[in-house]
Structure formats: structure tokens, C-alpha cells
Structure 1
Amino acid sequence: MSEAVSGEADSDGSYLNDGRWEYQRLRLPSSVSRPAAVTQLSIHAEYADWELSTVRLYGDGSRRVWLRRRYQPSRACLPGLIT
């Protein structure tokens, strides 16, 4: 992610907001296939307005994904489908 992110975080640190954007970090284990990951991320985009910010692929095959969306205080956070 190119911007510094600060603000509120869930107890596991996977959700942040900087006043303009909300960020949600997801970890995809190596056992999740690429098509399955695409499907799960598409669900986040379709039903909760998240967009892909950053993906980091690790040597063990796992992925760390950052999703972002415009911050709206009245909108409740959709619980992560992938933890």
C-alpha cells in the first residue's frame, strides 16, 4: 500500500481507516486456489463495495490482500469472508 494507514483497527488489526478510506487486510493461505481467491474477492467487491488495493504473494504460496473503499461512517463493516 502506498499510503500510510492509521486510525481504528479491529482486535486482530485487519481493519483500518484513515478518514478517507477504509482498509481491510485478508490473508489467503496457500491452500486457496487462484480461482477461489478471485471468487471470494469478487464477493467482497460486489456486496460491500471493496476494491483491490494491494496483493503480496509470499514464497510459501500464501497471499496478503489489502482491500479498500471510501469511508462512510454510517456503513457497517462487512465481516471478512476469509480470515
Structure 2
Amino acid sequence: MAAAARRALKPGLEWEFDQHVLPREASRSAVTRYLVDLAETGGWELARLAIGNDGVRRIVVKRKIIRQQRQLYFLPV
């Protein structure tokens, strides 16, 4: 697992990307379970999936970065 990269595709909208490499021995159902687990626990969605000539699956997942505005509170004097 590589470190997640951040990229802004549109102004105000940022995505976080993460790359995963799964061996050719991983079955299709195991890969599906892995992706479902990423989606349910971390909010990731599939961006890209490539199966190489050697059978290795290279997966890129993404999720939105939600930034909250800092709230300013003023106390009455």
C-alpha cells in the first residue's frame, strides 16, 4: 500500500487517491470482498483497476476530502 496522494480536479473539490497491488493468486471473490471492505470502512470508491499480463491487479481507489469551515464563536461581553 502506498501513501495516499491528494489532487484537486475542480476548484473546491479534492480527492484522495490510494494505490493497492493484489497478487495473481487472489481470487475474484477475495478482491471483491477487499474492495467492499475498503468502501464500507473508509469511504473509498474504485477509480481504476488494471490487470497486468502477469495477473497482478493494480487498483486505484479514491475518496472525497471534505473540508469544514472553521466556525468563529463570539462570546457576549
What's the TM-score, normalizing by structure 1?
Answer: 0.68
Unaligned 5+ runs, structure 1: 1-11, 75-83
More strand by share: 2
Unaligned 5+ runs, structure 2: 9-13, 69-77
CA distance in 1, matches of 2:41, 2:25: 24
Preserved CA contact (<8 Å) 1:30 1:60: yes
Tell me the percent identity: 29
CA distance in 1, matches of 2:43, 2:2: 20
Q: Which of the numbers 31, 35, 39 marks the counterpart of 1:37?
A: 31
RMSD over equivalenced CA pairs, Å: 1.8
**Could you say which structure has the larger radius of gyration?**
2
The runs of at least 4 aligned residues of structure 1 exceeding 3 Å deviation read none
Q: Which of the numbers 36, 44, 49 marks the counterpart of 1:55?
A: 49
Structure 2 residue identity aligned to 1:66: V
Secondary structure at the residue paired with 2:39? helix
What's the TM-score, normalizing by structure 2?
Answer: 0.73
